[in-house]
Structure 1
């Protein structure tokens, strides 16, 4: 069933020319694609420029405090992002597409007050942000109706989503080319492995870590460059050849990085990875066998007992029916 909430937002339209989506500020970018060639000589200067501007593309410093004070619902945010991740896997979107949609989502949620902090407004915002990110990064973006898959609780009309897209664009001042951790990970991968032998693996693994942690509200405390450095360090830790790497040296990769923040973020990444592994650890096989045998024995015993009880009950019923029948016949005989 299609749901329209177009009347709930009176200021969704804005007067900017849509061409400004792509013109914007010509910020330098560092591609997250796997490349074997050496980075240009001036790349470090460009990365430093990104670090200087990255605060303009994230929510305010008190955004995390709003979740901690429960003025915003962290579980509702996590649920919205979980849906975005499902759609990303369904369509095979790039990691950057997913992260951009979450970035838009957080920036809008920080800057504007929605009619509700849970329910359909967040679902509508999620669809609009993912749609805009897909249009920015994917060569073929699904239609607005086709985008609403993977357990979407509400199905919105395309015109309603389009109006929400304009609200997002207006809130973000039409600045969709955000600075994200993916702006830095290729450069940091080369800092870890200047030969370029393992940079592809480092970038790929760091991308996986970023997406697997994007739901965690705790990461809102850290800047994109800090998250990129921490995830590259975690990715390097998975390769024995980089086991010597000390997180505190990441500060030397580029001007503007802060050692304490990188170490703190890296520790958070490691802790979440450990927690995730512990949740997936299966029970020991001997215990499972014992439980299985006990369950089978109990099941057989229960079945036998149930069968016996049922048989006894049926026999009693038969006796009662038979006794009643005989009693009726006897009664008829006596009456005759």
Structure 2
């Protein structure tokens, strides 16, 4: 059935809206006449909203969430985010929905396909919120997905997530503060590009750690910017005490603990120091040649790579009534 422009218009008469007269209309000022919003006030407003929304837009505790199963789900979300080049905010919102759902709703199984289905649904909802182009529900299930879900079951899971979160999908994120905090460190904006980019990497690298749930977005942003700043010799002395002065509402103790946790996680994930490569002697048809052990390792890896790994079979799951059941019953 074709639609005309008139079918998409509201049927109200504009005279009804303005029937009260011009004198009773509210005051109006266009964006052109009004000046740019004050950044300091905007950030202060965000910090105030964080306090008001604590426990609603993110959990206050991680005790009810299993750390290992959550880490696997978050790792998969980050893989898909990189696969499709989604914004970091999309990955952050996905994990935010995931944590808030588990914090307030019990799944029938805390591992296996229920968590995979929840991960797909949360990532799909976040992509619909932030990305201009969203893959199909089947195309989301990439990067070693152990189960393949039918689109109708993912849609039912999305509705359950929306109902549990009370349709609150817009959430304050650490990324909103990064440019503001970077300019506080470097008012000349010489290094702000590096600081913001590095801080985004830090935030993404910490999302698998369940301990970061207890920190507010502004605290995570400040600690991430501190970590990025300390990578530069010029800002190596910037500390949480300096960060507390960036805006009213920032807490030095919370930023310090978050910064220390980031350093701990970074140290744990840091690759080990490469061993020294010592020369080896190879005897070949009457002459002796020195080659590095890296050559032998590369040849071994090339020979092993010629044999393809066995194919991995993914199971198709047809989840049923538990997705729409608030009581969490399963087949």
Counterpart-to-counterpart distance in 1, 2:101 and 2:234: 42
Which has the greater radius of gyration? 1
Q: 2:47 aligns with which of 51, 61, 83?
A: 51
The normalised TM-score by structure 2 is 0.71
Question: Under a length normalisation based on structure 1, what TM-score does the superposition of the two structures give?
Answer: 0.70
Do residues 109 (structure 1) and 108 (structure 2) align?
A: no
Q: Indicate the RMSD between aligned Cα atoms, in angstroms.
A: 2.4
Match of 1:171 among 164, 167, 191: 164
1:185, distance to aligned residue in structure 2 (A) = 1.1
Unaligned runs of 5+ in 1: 1-39, 67-71, 297-336
1:135 aligns with 2:128: yes
Structure 1 residue runs of 4+, over 6 Å off?
none
CA distance in 2, matches of 1:288, 1:175: 63
What is the rounded CA distance, in whole Å, between the counterparts of 1:209 and 1:57 in structure 2? 25
**1:83 aligned onto 2:79:** no
Give the unaligned 5+ runs of structure 2. Answer: 1-35, 282-291, 298-331
Preserved contact between residue 81 and residue 215 of structure 1 (Cα < 8 Å): yes
The structure 2 residue matched to 1:283, chosen from 269, 275, 285, is 275
User: 1:11 corresponds to which residue?
Assistant: none
Q: Does 1:205 align with 2:193?
A: no
1:85-135 CA distances to partner (integer Å, 9 max, x unpaired)? Answer: 110111111100000100010001101111111111110010000001111
Shift of 1:281: 2.3
Distance of 1:41 and 1:113 partners within structure 2: 42
Helix, strand or coil at the partner of 1:64: coil
Distance 1:93 1:256 in 2: 31
Higher relative contact order (CA 8 A, sep 6+): 1
Instruction: Note if contact 2:195-2:225 (Cα within 8 Å) is conserved in structure 1.
Output: yes
Structure with greater proportional helix content: 1
| 1:183-194 to 2 correspondences below 5 Å | 183-194=176-187
Q: What pairs with 1:320-331 in structure 2 (closer than 5 Å)? A: none
Task: Choose between structure 1 and 2: higher strand proportion.
Answer: 2
